[in-house]
Amino acid sequence: AEMQKFHGLPQTGEFDDATIEIMKKPRCANPDKVSVKTNLKRKKRYVTVGSPWQKQLITYSINNFTPKLGKKLTHEAIDNAFKVWSSFVPLQFDKVDASQNPDIVTFFAEGFHNDNTNFDGVGGYLAHAFYPGSGIGGDTHFDGAEPWTLHQGPNKGNDLFLVAVHELGHALGLQHSPDVKAIMAPVYKYHDTKNFVLPQDDILGIQSLYGKPAATQPTISSIPEPSPPKLCELSNYDAISFLRKELYIFKGKYMWRRKRGKTSFSGPLMISSFWPQLKNGVDAVYENPTSNKIVFFKDHLFWEFRGTELLPQSPRHVRHIGMQNGKVDAAVWWQRNGKTYFFKGNKYWVFNNWE
């Protein structure tokens, strides 16, 4: 009867047709917490595991792909599933290589795959995920035998994007919800993937664990903005580099630029007037003319731009360039060998560019 109650069925306590029909449907392999007391008259039906991630930057890897979709569409589906959750919480998801010890490892497997839940072939269990924690915590596994599809409608296989959104809900700390409209309902149900909207129950659940994302609107302060510094009065700079054939100097939230053939600088200008994502200044910057990329560093993150256009996956952690933590003091691309040099304290790293 508890299982029937959880799935919104008449509580007969018998294996009637409706109960058997629910049991036959494809579903998540994570167990339902049927012992959780839920008042189905309340708007709040979500169930949390109580142990969210204790950090805001969470890394993930996609270790393989399903040949039914191919690598590109597999990555697209899982990447977009992460974006769904990041829209409603103050978390940043950073895709990294599997060798970089990511927090959340995703992969496809069949049958036994070295955890406590074997996959059962086509139908039945579609996937499972582990709740937040070290080691296998957060890892998300998909049954490779399933007929995976993407944006093909309700009657053609199992949509990988929808299943990934559900499983990542577990990886972030949500259990199954008795709300049949929720993405965290245990039984697979098709939603419009091209115009997907996360159901309200799921939004309330994830925000109960992590809160709402930071407000994007600027706050009004009664404290006046300090006057911009004068370039000739600065004793040091945060960063200096040639970008798009112009010399740029950065200090705090401001920058100055000098065009080729000119003897004076224009500025100060707000850095965010060119690159809105860089509201708090920069630590280092360089341009790689061969790829036409400008790369900015601040603290442990870096942003890639093409001109003033932010490129996908930005910002990312400096682990992507082989550095573990902390900020980069300076960076320079050397034309002679096409490599980039990063400086931190009395050490430097040489980076073989990906382009």
Q: Are residues 19 and 137 in the same domain?
A: yes
Q: What are phi and psi of 232, to 5 degrees?
A: -70, -15
Q: Decide which of 11 and 217 is more confident.
A: 11
Assess contact for 167 and 129: CB atoms under 8 A.
Answer: yes
Confidence category of residue 226, pLDDT binned at 50, 70, 90: low
Q: Which residues pair with residue 306 across a beta bridge?
A: 309
Q: Take residue 3 and report the two structure tokens written for it.
A: 């299982």
Q: Are residues 237 and 338 in the same domain?
A: yes
Confidence check: pLDDT of 355 > 70: no
Helix, strand, coil percentages, rounded to 5, for the chain? 20, 25, 55
Domain that holds residue 128: 2-210
Residue labelled with tokens 């409603």: 88
- Structural element, H or E, at residue 71: helix 70-86
Q: Take residue 237 and report the two structure tokens written for it.
A: 């700079």
pLDDT in tens, 235-269: 888 998 888 788 899 998 888 888 877 778 877 87
Whichever domain contains 19, its CATH number is 3.40.390.10
d(CA 351, CA 341): 6
Q: Of 178, 210, 242, which marks where a domain is finished?
A: 210
Q: Take residue 99 and report the two structure tokens written for it.
A: 């060798």
Q: Are residues 264 and 156 in the same domain?
A: no
Q: Which residues carry a binding-site annotation for Ca(2+)?
A: 103, 120-121, 137, 139, 143, 146, 238, 240, 283, 331
Q: Are residues 55 and 160 in the same domain?
A: yes
Q: Decide which of 165 and 238 is more confident.
A: 165
Q: Are residues 139 and 8 in the same domain?
A: yes
Q: Which residues pair with residue 285 across a beta bridge?
A: 296
Reduced to 3 states (helix: H, G, I; strand: E, B; else coil), residue 294 is strand
Please tell me the predicted confidence (pLDDT) of residue 138: 92
d(CA 261, CA 246): 10
Q: Which residues carry a binding-site annotation for Zn(2+)?
A: 28, 113, 115, 128, 141, 166, 170, 176, 184
Whichever domain contains 322, its CATH number is 2.110.10.10
Q: Take residue 120 and report the two structure tokens written for it.
A: 């059962």
Q: Are residues 14 and 89 in the same domain?
A: yes
Assigned domain for 58 exists? yes
Q: Are residues 28 and 141 in the same domain?
A: yes
pLDDT in tens, 100-128: 989 999 999 999 887 767 898 898 899 99
Q: Of 210, 239, 265, which marks where a domain is finished?
A: 210
Number of domains in the chain: 2
Give CA separation, 93 vs 83, 162, 198, 209, in Å: 8, 18, 18, 16
Please tell me the predicted confidence (pLDDT) of residue 282: 92
Q: Are residues 164 and 122 in the same domain?
A: yes
Q: Are residues 183 and 272 in the same domain?
A: no
Please tell me the predicted confidence (pLDDT) of residue 50: 58
Q: Of 210, 243, 265, which marks where a domain is finished?
A: 210
d(CA 82, CA 198): 12
pLDDT in tens, 23-36: 557 778 777 664 44
- Which residues belong to the active site? 167
User: Which of the residue ranges 42-56, 60-74, 81-95 would you say has the lowest mean pLDDT?
Assistant: 42-56
Q: Are residues 193 and 250 in the same domain?
A: no
Q: Are residues 206 and 236 in the same domain?
A: no
d(CA 17, CA 309): 56
d(CA 222, CA 126): 55
Assigned domain for 78 exists? yes
